[in-house]
Amino acid sequence: MSERTTAQAQWSTTVTPVVAAVTTLCASTALSGVIEGARWLGHAGVAVIVVTAIGLGLRALRTPTLLVVLAQLVGLLCLLTALFTDSGVLGLLPGPDAFDALGRVLTDSVEAVRTGVPPVAETRPVLCLVVIAIGLVGVLVDTLAVAAGTPAACGLVLLCVYAVPASLADDLLPWWSFVLGAGSFAVLLAVDGTHRHRLWRNQAALPTRGAGFGSPTAMVSSALVLGLLAGGLITGIGTVGSLPGDGTGGGTGGGLALKPFTKLRGMLEQGGNRELLRVRGLGNETRYLRALTLPRFERDGGWVPASALATNVRAAGPLPAAPGDDGQGPQTRIEIEPINYEDNWAPVYGTPRQMFDLPDNMFYDLGGGMVYARNARKLDRYVEAADLSQPTAGDLRLAGSDFSEVHEMYFDAEGIDPRVVQLAKDLTRDQPTMLDKVLALKTHFTNSANGFKYQTQTGQGSDETALRDFLFDSKVGYCEQYASAMALLARAVGIPSRVAIGYTAGFLTGDYRSITTQDAHAWVEVFFPDHGWVTFDPTPLSDGRTYNPPYASSPPSSGPATGVSEEKPPTATTTTAAAPRTDPGKDQTPQAGAKTPGEVATPWSWQAWTALGLGVVAAALVALAYAARLRIARPLAIGVGVLALVFLLSLLSWWLSALLVLAVLGAVPALVRDWRRRQRRDAVLGDSPDAASAAWTELLAESWDRGTRAPDTDTVRTAARRLVKEHSLDDGSKQALRTVVNSVERSWYGGRRDRDPELAAAFDEVVRGLRRSSPLDWRGRLLPRSVLRPRKRKRGDDEN
């Protein structure tokens, strides 16, 4: 092999994977928007280094791509075992205890994702998730950039690395992360383009011209600058805390990326209990403090905020009367002091009439009853003049039927499951008034005979599937499920409803009420004409924190409602700190069949043992293939390794195993072609008397894979001329092909079976020439014609 060819081979097997690794690591810096500190970057770096090192080593040994990928995944598993368990065999290899430990860490990782509010701390579960995610991204990027030779496709994978933190971060992702990611990706493309240019032009030196405006470097740089400007000035990537522009509260433009239920879960399930607000002037009232309302139900997303909020009413000063309210009720002056509260919303009680001491750039959304700012902030003490009056049950039963003041989106029932609609109709069928219908729905959850249980630690969400499971199967949930389900049932029977998120009343300490993270809550608000939005809470809190107004205690016409006890504030000593509160969900036993919080199903089942055994067999076959040069050992190792991975994936889902089997079946033609290519080349390099026949057969197969098939009537020289013409071979390849043809003719027609010393080098040069002048497309690689439609031509055809 020439010096130039050796340099080119080293380029493709060393430079490209190293640049791909750097690109992956640069893209991973986007996680700085959702993870605190910098230790996680070290873990990501180690994962990328392990994946890249395994790829470099195995490709240097000419290992098949599938085995390289499998080895990288095994290396990643060993790294997880070493970093996050203390029970690995020799501290590195996963065994039964290590799998159990990893299962527990992964369960904690899922909980951290589900309940954490960005930026999250660098805990072991979070670091484990970083290693898994960035490690898998590293495997994909390495495979696409090096093995598949398509680094441009890596952009889609790297885009996902940015998409996740951009959708979760409260602030813009750091600008330097985009610069690093885009710049390194541009270098990856440039490196690959330079390498291809050298192969195509058969040049030994890097190109030095083309640095003008139209050069690749200039174009990539321009695209990078324009992309960053557009991202910063137009799209506002990652601005979870920003709100849409002008709107009426019921519009559909813009987008609100806040995830209120995610934050709610985070506050309820976090380890500590942090004081958020102090409220003075409320007295003994145990009202709910409303932060925001969710008016829209999406089948796949659950209850979500409005698409646009009103910006035509400044929050500071007198406020217009809300829908259904005449604005004549008495006002109560309430002082709200944020302590550790930082958000877009300024929580309010009842119906706000006037706000004092708020910044000028805060707004009041009349339709949603919310006071908000465009960006999250920590407010100073502010004052609300609130109307806390509430109707009686008789008033609500006499409410009219004019819903013209409320937006039509509060009636939207699209996407509600037919079973849920039927349940709502069954529960409200005999109720004469809207209030009685609402109370019947509320009673369905608060009546213990119906089997509903309150539990804060639950994996359910509020989309259509989760709510259907909550209503008919598990019946275990916390305020998100209860409020979401009741609001959905109300919509199903034509009652305008929405979900409100805020806080319960907290507890009295000195001259104020202390509201903490454990007071975070969700409830239902129903619109009654002439009375506005009225509060109903179906969540059966066991610690007396539920606000149960008199109208909600009135029994529906069909029978008595199950009441919920009024709050009993704890007799804590007066202090400025928030008193601890026991989590009410922890003392309750889940329904039969439901998983206990923190319960981990052991992954060390028969599938795991089978996968381990098959993995050992595959490793033995690989060792046998390299030590004893046994040809059949390689394909057997691949087959056994794939079977081991099938059983390993079945621990997560048999569907994943089925997808793997389909992917492997799709790769069979390419694997067969690779095996035949290696087999023939070994024959050419060895002392086989059929070396010339093997070389000629392989060259015809390479030509047929590229779409050119020599007729069976062609002689060797005629077929060779056709190969030169169809594939535009260069001079060096032509000369090498003449050597191969001479060797074939001497072997077939001259009766000479001795080894031709020039055959192997000439054969390799022709193959390289084919790859330079006529590279294989994806179809030729995945579905080679020489395997799917093999030639039937035999040596005897030429001899005759």
Reported as a pLDDT band with limits 50, 70 and 90, residue 332 is very high
Region 578-594: mean pLDDT is: 36
Question: How many angstroms separate the Cα of 57 from the Cα of each of 51, 53, 54, 188, 625?
Answer: 10, 6, 5, 20, 17
The residues, any chain, with a CB within 8 Å of residue 665's CB and separated by 6 or more, are none
Instruction: Give the per-residue pLDDT at 353.
Output: 92
How much is the average pLDDT of 477-486?
87
- What letter does residue 120 receive in the DSSP assignment? B
* Structure-block tokens of residue 45: 């770096």
Q: For 193-218, what is the mean pLDDT?
A: 45
When the pLDDT of each residue in the chain is averaged and rounded to a whole number, the result is 76
pLDDT digits over 373-385, tens only?
877 778 999 999 9
Q: Which residues pair with 477 in a beta bridge?
A: 454
Read off the pLDDT of each residue in 580-607 and give the average, rounded to a whole number. 40
Query: Is residue 222 located within the same domain as residue 322?
Result: no
- Residue 396 has what pLDDT? 92
Q: Do 352 and 458 belong to one domain?
A: no
The answer to whether position 580 is within a domain reads no
Across 619-623, average pLDDT: 80
User: Residues near 629 by Cβ (< 8 Å), separated by ≥ 6?
Assistant: none
640: its two tokens: 């056994």
Q: Can you give the pLDDT at residue 371? A: 93
Q: Is the pLDDT of residue 527 over 60?
A: yes
- Is pLDDT of 442 > 80? yes
Q: Please choose, from the candidates 606, 499, 560, 570, the residue with its C-alpha nearest in 3D space to the C-alpha of residue 96.
A: 606
Which candidate, 359, 186, 740, 287, places its Cα nearest to that of 515? 287
Share of the chain above pLDDT 90, in %: 15
Chosen domain end from 364, 387, 410: 387
Write the DSSP assignment of 520-549 as a string of letters.
EEEEEEEEETTTEEEEE-----SSS-----
Same domain, 555 and 434: yes
Residues 380 and 429 in one domain: no
- Residue 172, CA distances (Å) to 184, 353, 374, 504, 552 in order: 20, 35, 14, 32, 44
Question: Range with the lowest mean pLDDT among 130-144, 313-327, 458-472, 644-658?
Answer: 644-658
Q: pLDDT tens digits for 533-556?
A: 999 999 887 666 778 888 987 665
What confidence score (pLDDT) does residue 225 get? 53
* Predicted local confidence at residue 753, as pLDDT: 65
> Which pLDDT does position 566 carry in this prediction?
35
Q: Which residue intervals of 274-428 are DSSP H helices?
A: 393-397, 418-428
Domain range spanning residue 153?
3-205+212-237
pLDDT surpasses 70 at 272: no
How far is 754 from 735, CA to CA, in rounded Å? 22
- Between the two ends of the chain, the Cα-to-Cα distance in Å is 36
Q: Is residue 682 part of a domain?
A: yes
The more confidently predicted of residues 224 and 757 is 757
351/347 Cα distance (integer angstroms): 11
Cβ atoms of 385 and 331 within 8 Å: the answer is yes
Note the pLDDT of residue 594: 37
pLDDT in tens, 482-526: 889 999 999 999 999 999 999 998 888 888 999 998 888 899 999
Mean pLDDT value of segment 733-740? 87
Per-residue model confidence (pLDDT) at position 428: 92
Instruction: Give the whole-angstrom CA distance, residue 304 versus residue 498.
Output: 10
* Residue 518 near residue 583 (C-beta atoms within 8 A): yes
Taking the C-alpha atoms of residue 416 and residue 60, their distance in angstroms, rounded to an integer, is 57
Question: Reduced to 3 states, what is the DSSP secondary structure of residue 363?
Answer: strand
**Which H or E element spans position 402?**
none
Contacts of residue 489, defined as CB under 8 A and 6 or more positions apart, other chains included, come to 420, 423, 424, 427, 441, 444
Write out pLDDT tens, residues 156-180: 788 878 777 776 665 667 778 888 8
345 and 398 share a domain?
Answer: no
pLDDT in tens, 19-57: 888 999 898 888 887 787 777 888 888 889 989 889 888
Instruction: Tell me which residue of 428, 548, 531, 544 sits closest to 489, measured CA to CA.
Output: 428
Please tell me the distance from the alpha carbon of residue 237 to that of residue 229, in angstroms, as a whole number: 11
What is the maximum alpha-carbon separation in the chain? 114
Q: Pick the residue with more confidence: 734 or 752?
A: 734
pTM for this entry:
0.48
- 187 burial via Cβ count (<10 Å: 0-12, 13-18, 19+): middle
Comparing 387-391, 442-446, 557-561, which segment has the lowest mean pLDDT?
Answer: 557-561
Q: What is the model's pLDDT at position 568?
A: 35
For residues 456 and 350, membership in a common domain is answered with no
437: pLDDT strictly greater than 80: yes
pLDDT of residue 659: 65
Place 386 in a pLDDT band, splitting at 50, 70 and 90: very high
690 falls within a domain: yes
pLDDT at 195 (0 to 100): 52
Q: Is residue 355 part of a domain?
A: yes
More confident position, 5 or 321 = 321
Q: Give pLDDT, residue 652.
A: 54
State pLDDT tens for residues 668-691. 888 888 888 888 888 888 767 788
Same domain for 168 and 67:
yes
Confidence check: pLDDT of 273 > 70: yes
Q: Identify whether 477 is part of a domain.
A: yes
Residue 232 has a CB neighbour count (10 Å cut-off) of 13
pLDDT over threshold 90, residue 424: yes
Top-ranked range on mean pLDDT: pick from 241-250, 681-690, 784-793: 681-690
Q: What is the pLDDT of residue 278?
A: 93
Cβ atoms of 167 and 46 within 8 Å: the answer is no
- Percentage of the chain with pLDDT > 70? 75
CA dist 320 and 323 (Å) reads 9
Domain identity same for 317 and 371: yes
State the CB neighbour count (10 A cutoff) for residue 39.
13
* Claim to verify: residue 107 and residue 183 sit in the same structural domain: yes
Q: Is residue 581 part of a domain?
A: no
Q: What is the pLDDT of residue 384?
A: 94
Residue 5 has pLDDT above 50, yes or no: no
**What is the per-residue pLDDT for 515?**
92
Residue 717's pLDDT is: 87
Of 543, 566, 589, the residue that ends a domain is: 566
Cα–Cα distance, 151 to 162 (Å, whole number): 17
276, 405: one domain: no
Rg from Cα positions in the chain: 35
Q: Is 257 within a domain?
A: no
CA distance 530 to 328: 12
Q: Of 10-19, 353-362, 759-768, give the lowest mean pLDDT range.
A: 10-19
Are 506 and 577 spatial neighbours (Cβ–Cβ below 8 Å)?
A: no
Rounded-to-integer distance, Cα 746 and Cα 739, Å: 11
pLDDT for the residue 115: 53
- Residues 360, 402, single domain; the answer is no
pLDDT tops 70 at residue 316: yes
Size of the chain in residues: 800
Q: How many domains does the chain contain in total?
A: 4
Question: Could you give the dihedral angle defined by the CA atoms of residues 209, 214, 216 and 218, in that order, rounded to the nearest 10 degrees?
Answer: 100
- Residue 141 inside a domain? The answer is yes
At 63-107, the pLDDT tens digits run 888 888 899 998 888 888 888 887 777 767 787 877 877 887 777
Q: Which of 460-469, 493-502, 564-573: highest mean pLDDT?
A: 493-502
Residue 48 contacts residue 76 (beta carbons within 8 Å) = no
Domain end among 343, 371, 387: 387
Strand, helix or coil for residue 353: strand
| Same structural domain, 313 and 425 | no
pLDDT band of 465, cuts 50, 70, 90 = confident
- pLDDT at residue 795 tops 60: no
